[in-house]
Structure 1
Amino acid sequence: MATPTQNPEPVAGASNESPSDLSTVSENVTVESSGARIVDEKEVPHVVTEKLDEAWKVSSIPEPKQYFCLDANLLDAAITAVKARLEDKDSNVRGAWLLTEIDHWDLEKERLILLSDNNIISVKYNFILGQIEELKFIPVPYISELLFGDFKYPSSYVFSRIAKGLKVTWGKKEAPVRFIDRWNPFSSKVPSATFASHVLVRRKKMIDPRLTVESAVPEIEKAIVDFWKQNGRIQETSDGNTQRAGDDFRVTGGEIVVGHLVGLTALVHNESSLGFFKRRGAVNW
């Protein structure tokens, strides 16, 4: 036969409070076997959950802070990383800029530009992962022309870039670009590269010489002149002018004519800054 359940006798020194009355128990009462402490409910921190409002959306962040390249020390770290990858012939870096490179489809891409005694080096640097993804070398002795001026678009073009640019051409100027290369967006056989200031400078969001193409032009020109001087192809005359020998490069001013290939593609790509590493919400690229 089952034994009737008996209420246990109170233990001396123990509280008779029910669980619902624990809030009235002094915080000094402890359970010696575990060392746990019963804390007054006034001490228990409340967990607060907030829904993200407009202040936390990426679109509300000031535009310069959306770009990873402007995070503290990231640009300097990127330049240092690229220098460590260069060979001895490019060890003397004369200048470094963060510019916009514009390909033959008029697509803008964020590129780190380093200038050495022998090469202009265009670097695709992933500011999110902190790694070099692509290096492109433009040999100084093969550069035939520097063209600095405004961009010119056909009147029917849906996108236009109101800015100064620098077009660097190498090889023989009279050599035509093959049709298949002009229409292939991935072709690397177009013998020119065009640069403009970083998009933040062009939109007047900030002022920084390292992001401005105007600051790179004289340094690039000087590097080319110095190279040919050292190789005896350029000599200074008695009146201080330079005299070029042979088929060397030239510096010209004028309009950089943009072909009317696929304006809609450039419009979507450039207006969305798809070629730049920036914060875009849940996914960054």
Structure 2
Amino acid sequence: MDRDEHHLLEEGPLERFKGATLQIQPDLTSRSPSACGGFTPDNKPSKLGALCPVSVSDLEAREYFSSRDSLVHSAIDECVRLFINTNTDGELLGAWLLTEISLWDTEKERIVLLTTNSMVTIKYDFIATKALEHQKVPLPAVDTVVVGELIYPPGSMVPPRNVRGVRAMWNKGEPVPFSKRWNPFTNEVPLCTYTSHPLLWHKGRDDGNTRFDVESFAERLTFALDHASASNGNPPCKIDYQPIVLQNYVGIGSMIHNRNALGFFKVRGKFSF
């Protein structure tokens, strides 16, 4: 990312601080487009390319309650008031509306707040306009971050995503325990995976619109982690630039969930949920 594009980031104190018979084709009208540009292994972001050809139409975008800019701004302001304590969390570095991908490959709309000391992920009801639940992770606890394309294991029948993401882990290099990996109701999984919100491909990156962009979040997160380790004298967080593997081989349930955007607050005919 060059100097001019760097200044387009959200305001914040950055300077301071195969053999199968079942075939399921992806829905090209709703699937995010192929990622353009991104982070390079030398720890410097490359220049973002042009917006990819597959986009979200005006009609599709209006189905998302979060397409209303004023609603997103007010939701973020509310979450900052509720969950950020400047005495313990430090200064706010940025706020995003992203897609979180669970360990079971289901997509969920989430507000993500990043401070000098913490990362907060919030499930926010854009219909009832209230926060439902949140998870706060101290940045010194994060030991590994992976930035790269989201892929599936060899032999998976799930269509490729062709998008980039970021995964943060605080499990000290240990594998996720079996009891947590196969329990879809647990909230104690020591990692989180994000990709861009679908609205990024409607609103674009023009005019510094990075609130839906996982690339912006990844850059700010790696900066914050470097700063946190230097300030606290902790070992530096390991930053890897490589594909992020989503362990989904069949994924019928997750594909139904994701294709119908059940993790997003949308207008669905006569109903909204």
TM-score, normalization: structure 1? 0.70
Paired residue type of 2:166: L
The structure that has the greater radius of gyration is 1
Aligned to 1:217: 218
Which runs of structure 2 are paired with 1:196-207 in the superposition (5 Å)? Answer: 196-201=195-200, 204-207=201-204
**1:20-50 residue CA offsets vs partner (Å, 9 max, x unmatched):** xxxxxxxxxxxxxxxxxxxxxxxxxxxxxxx
Q: CA–CA distance in 2 between the matches of 1:262 and 1:183?
A: 15
Q: CA–CA distance in 1 between the matches of 2:199 and 2:76?
A: 19
Aligned-residue offset at 1:205: 2.5
Paired residue type of 1:230: S
Aligned to 2:142: 143
2:248 to 252, 260, 285: 260
Q: CA–CA distance in 2 between the matches of 1:225 and 1:253?
A: 15
2:85 to 84, 87, 97: 87
**1:185-237 residue CA offsets vs partner (Å, 9 max, x unmatched):** 11223211000000233xx333131100001111111111111222234xxxx
Paired residue type of 1:116: T
Alpha carbons of structure 1 residues 256 and 283: separation in structure 2 relative to 1, 3 Å = same
SS at structure 2 position matched to 1:187: coil
Alpha carbons of structure 1 residues 72 and 199: separation in structure 2 relative to 1, 3 Å = closer
Larger RCO, structure (CA 8 Å, separation 6 or more): 2
Paired residue type of 2:102: D
Instruction: Check conservation: 1:83, 1:91, Cα contact below 8 A.
Output: no
Q: CA–CA distance in 2 between the matches of 1:231 and 1:138?
A: 16
> Does residue 73 of the first structure (1) align with residue 77 of the second (2)?
no
SS at structure 1 position matched to 2:199: helix
Which runs of structure 2 are paired with 1:1-285 in the superposition (5 Å)? Answer: 62-85=59-82, 86-88=84-86, 89-90=88-89, 92-154=91-153, 155-173=155-173, 175-201=174-200, 204-207=201-204, 208-233=209-234, 246=235, 248-260=236-248, 263-285=251-273
Overall identity of the aligned pairs, in %: 36
Instruction: Check conservation: 2:58, 2:202, Cα contact below 8 A.
Output: no
Q: Which runs of 4+ in 1 moved over 3 A?
A: none
Q: CA–CA distance in 2 between the matches of 1:194 and 1:72?
A: 24
TM-score, normalization: structure 2? 0.73
SS at structure 2 position matched to 1:205: helix
Aligned-residue offset at 1:160: 2.9
Gaps of 5+ in 2: 1-56
SS at structure 2 position matched to 1:260: coil
Q: CA–CA distance in 2 between the matches of 1:107 and 1:90?
A: 29
Paired residue type of 1:139: P
Aligned to 1:39: none
Paired residue type of 1:146: V
Gaps of 5+ in 1: 1-59, 234-245
How many residues of Structure 1 are paired with residues of Structure 2 in the alignment?
A: 210
Paired residue type of 2:77: T
Q: CA–CA distance in 1 between the matches of 2:198 and 2:159?
A: 15
Instruction: Check conservation: 1:148, 1:166, Cα contact below 8 A.
Output: yes
Aligned-residue offset at 1:261: 5.4
Instruction: Check conservation: 1:159, 1:263, Cα contact below 8 A.
Output: no
Aligned-residue offset at 1:117: 1.3
